[in-house]
Amino acid sequence: MTDSTHNSQTNGPLIVEGKHADNERLKAESNYLRGTITEDLKDNITGGFTADNFQLIRTHGMYQQDDRDIRNERAKQKLEPLHNVMLRARMPGGIITPTQWLAIDKFSREKTSYGSIRITTRQTFQFHGVLKPNIKLMHQTLNEYGIDSIATAGDVNRNVLCTTNPVESELHQEAYEWAKKISEHLLPKTRAYAEIWLDGEKIEGGTEEGEVEPILGKNYLPRKFKTTVVIPPQNDVDVHANDLNFVAIAEQGKLIGFNVLVGGGLAMTHGDKSTYPRKADDFGFVELAKTLDVAAAVVTTQRDWGNRVNRKNAKTKYTLDRVGVDTFKAEVEKRAGITFAESRSYEFTGRGDRIGWTEGFEGKHHLALFIENGRLLDKPNFPLKTGVAEIAKIHKGDFRMTANQNLIIAGIAAEDKAEIERIARAHGLMADNVSVQRKNSMACVAFPTCPLAMAEAERYLPGLVTDVEAILAKHGAADESIILRVTGCPNGCGRAMLAEIGLVGKGPSKYNMHLGGNIAGTRVPKMYKENLNEEDILQEIDSLVAKWVTERNEKEAFGDFVIRSGIIQEVIVSKRDFHD
């Protein structure tokens, strides 16, 4: 089965005319992402970055933040917010070595205010709370260990995801190599990062568009851009959240090419019907040799046709809906010098990580650890972070961060299994009583660090899951689960817009409830009830679960049930159905 939905075939203008958003000016004037960041770094009067640099540091993988729990208190004391940066590393496929892990562990303990390592929904880690005097040191430390944070934020192609399952290792290895190649190919070519953070040799920026950035251009992309390589039947990377996806097609275990899916994305804005989550469209199959050409062609088409006037409608998903899927696809074919072949058959059957031990290729063992919300921190009785560091000290394989915010200790030799499990259990990283429901639940960061959060997410999820576990048990379904995701605002970082129950922050302790995603992650859920408080949410889940367990067909998943039984309408074409 191929997952094909041509969302729309409109033929709107290729270019949106009008006054460009201010971000376009600042990118154009930035001298290829340099701005005046170096000068700003020397300014000790403020802990933050000023003017355009506030935005430009994003293209170097950092966001300026402050602790929202103490913001009002500091304002009362007439103090500037406690500015710091969050850093997000570039880790295609989420692979990190034990030596690299020990380095980031040390930095997070010694130089960040929160002391945590946060595994993200896009297979990498974030530091939160790095003060200005430590920023350069941070980049230099990471660089020493072969890690950078180039283009993990901003209007560029972000960290490239790759299915994490190491069981079919030969195929995974090939797919991972492509994730790395695509990441490198689409990376900004400017030397700004090396110059600013690593004291690299200064090279003049170039003046002609295309001279320095042949793919991204002088103004970079109209908006953020996200890419995955996925190995069916696992859809752990959630392809429909991404602008560009390469679905690995194998014959006799060897990778032969990719089906290409374009135009997924999950964000929306409350009250703005021109924004909506949207699934990616299937463009067809391409042979391996043309992979990078296709990647560049999709990126450059979006670069040239994406909306630079209104950032809310600037992502690839809106470009496809404006110009028409066939028009966009034909342009990609022209630019890549190919004709897409008919998509090869594949099927997605799930998205979760196989928590616990699995045995794979060449007699190696893998231990997937469930990390709630991806937050690695030493908590009383749960020294999770120390546990991972202790494992890193003896582990000879590597670590793989998953897009479900978990961590796989991959490639463990048989003789090391017992000791690694002992360490994991002793540090609270492995427990037999974690429910399937908890493993299938996810939340974004939200408070206290995210400036856009409207409601709690990461801090709300653990208690909510305990309540949902109790509801399932009450209805005799303790061993079952519903894909439950919470995001603190409609940007959707916790991918609630691909969940069976998705909660989207609306205001303090208020959420919109969406229903109807499916297990495979190929359906967008639709709003069921608006502005629910935490008590309402539990009541709604209680009555929905009661109906599900009594009225469902055999083995019918919750998300399928709510659609079949008419509780919610299926979203087939987002632009038409989502706000309907």
Q: Supply the minimum distance, in Å, between the C-beta of residue 353 and ligand SF4.
A: 21
Of the candidates 89, 153, 453, 472, which one interacts with ligand SF4 according to CB under 6 A? 453
Applying CB under 6 A, what is the total number of residues that bind ligand SF4? 13
Using the CB atoms, write b or e for 246-271: b if 16+ within 10 Å.
bbbbbeeeebebbbbbbbbbbbbeee
175 part of the interface to ligand SF4, by CB under 6 A = no
State the nearest-atom distance from the C-beta of 316 to ligand SRM, in Å.
10
Q: Which does 33 bind (CB under 5 to 8 A by kind): ligand SF4, ligand SRM, none?
A: none
Point out which span in 101-109, 153-161, 292-300, 481-489 binds ligand SF4 (CB under 6 A).
481-489
Active site residue 158: yes
CB of residue 446 to ligand SF4, shortest distance in Å: 4
Options 79, 394, 452, 470; binder of ligand SF4; rule CB under 6 A: 452
CA gyration radius, the chain: 23
| Active-site pick, 489, 523, 526, 575 | 489
Catalytic residue among 111, 315, 450, 506: 450
Stretch that binds ligand SF4, among 486-494, 545-553, 556-564, 571-579 (CB under 6 A): 486-494
Among residues 224, 303, 317, 322, the one annotated as catalytic is 224
* 493 given a catalytic annotation: yes
CB of 199 to ligand SRM, least distance (A): 26
Q: Which of 162, 444, 495, 506 is catalytic?
A: 444
Which listed option, ligand SF4, ligand SRM, none, makes contact with residue 265 (CB within 5 to 8 Å by class)?
A: ligand SRM
Residue 191 interacting partner from ligand SRM, ligand SF4, none (CB closer than 5 to 8 Å by kind): none
Looking only at the bridges linking them, the beta strands covering 365-369 and 407-412 are: antiparallel
Q: Which stretch binds ligand SF4 (CB under 6 A): 132-140, 420-428, 475-483, 485-493?
A: 485-493
Does 88 participate in catalysis according to the annotation? yes
Closest approach, Cβ 498 to ligand SRM, in A, equals 9
Could you say whether residue 457 binds ligand SF4 (CB under 6 A)?
A: yes
Give the shortest CB-281-to-ligand SF4 separation in angstroms. 24
Among 91, 493, 503, 515, binds ligand SF4 (CB under 6 A): 493
What residue number has its CB nearest to ligand SF4? Answer: 488
Burial letters for 301-338: b for 16+ Cβ neighbours within 10 Å, e otherwise? Answer: bbbebbbbebbebbbbbbbbbbbbbebbbebbbebbeb
Q: Does 492 bind ligand SF4 (CB under 6 A)?
A: yes
Q: Output 149 or 386, the one with its CB closest to ligand SRM.
A: 149
The span of 35-43, 368-376, 440-448, 568-576 binding ligand SF4 (CB under 6 A) equals 440-448
Euclidean distance between CA atoms 409 and 558, whole angstroms? 31
444 forms part of the interface with ligand SF4 (CB under 6 A)? yes
CB 366 within 8 A of CB 409: yes
H-state helical runs in 342-414: 384-394
Separation CA 197–CA 194 (nearest Å) = 6
Q: Is 445 in the site for ligand SF4 (CB under 6 A)?
A: yes
Is 25 designated active site? no
The reply to whether 491 sits near ligand SF4 by the rule CB under 6 A is yes
The residues with which 229 forms a beta bridge, in sequence order, are 162, 246
> How far is residue 409 CA from its own chain's centroid?
20
**Sequence-ordered list of residues with C-beta below 8 angstroms from that of 395, at least 6 positions apart, any chain:** 98, 409, 412, 416, 420
Cα torsion through 231, 236, 239, 243, rounded to 10: -100
**Which of 367, 369, 446, 557 is the binder for ligand SF4 (CB under 6 A)?**
446
Q: Which amino acid is at 493?
A: C
Catalytic, out of 88, 375, 506, 575:
88
Burial of 559 (0-12, 13-18, 19+ CB in 10 A): buried
Q: Find out whether 238 and 498 touch, Cβ atoms under 8 Å.
A: yes
Active-site choice (122, 218, 226, 385): 226
Q: Which does 88 bind (CB under 5 to 8 A by kind): ligand SRM, ligand SF4, none?
A: ligand SRM
Q: Record the tokens describing residue 302, joined without a space.
A: 């979006």
Nearer residue to ligand SRM within complex by CB, 150 or 472? 150
Query: What 3-state DSSP class applies to 565?
Result: coil
Residues 5-24 that bind ligand SF4 (CB under 6 A): none
What Å distances lie between residue 338 and 31, 260, 288, CA to CA? 34, 13, 12
Which one of 230, 262, 391, 450 is in contact with ligand SF4 (CB under 6 A)? 450
* CB 289 to ligand SRM: min, Å: 28
- Secondary structure (DSSP) of 342-362: PPPP----B-S---EEEE-GG
Residues near ligand SRM (CB under 6 A): 63, 65, 86, 88, 120-122, 124, 126, 152, 158-159, 224, 226, 238, 241, 265-267, 315, 374, 444-445, 449-452, 491-495
DSSP 15: S
Least Å from the CB of residue 409 to ligand SRM: 20
Closest CA to 8 of 521, 574, 524: 574
Residue 152 interacting with ligand SF4 (CB under 6 A): no
User: Are 247 and 232 in contact, with CB atoms under 8 Å apart?
Assistant: yes
DSSP string, 81-129: P--EEEEE-B-GGGEE-HHHHHHHHHHHHHH-SS--EEE-TTS-EEEEE
Which is closer to ligand SRM, CB of 152 or CB of 291? 152
**Catalytic residue list contains 226:** yes
* Distance set, CA 393 to CA 97, 103, 385, 420, 500 (Å): 11, 11, 13, 10, 39
Closest separation between CB of residue 314 and ligand SRM, Å? 8
Interacting residues of 464 by C-beta distance below 8 A, sequence separation 6+: 441, 484, 486, 534, 537
- Sheet of 356-359, strand order: 95-96, 398-401, 407-412, 365-369, 356-359
Q: Which of 5, 2, 3, 27 is nearest to 306 (CA)?
A: 27
Residue type at position 317 = K
Q: How far is CA 205 from the centre of its chain?
A: 31
Q: Which does 122 bind (CB under 5 to 8 A by kind): ligand SF4, ligand SRM, none?
A: ligand SRM
Is residue 162 annotated as part of the catalytic site, yes or no? no
- Active-site residues, by number, are 88, 158, 224, 226, 444, 450, 489, 493
Which residues contribute to the site for ligand SF4 (CB under 6 A)?
444-446, 450, 452-453, 457, 487-489, 491-493
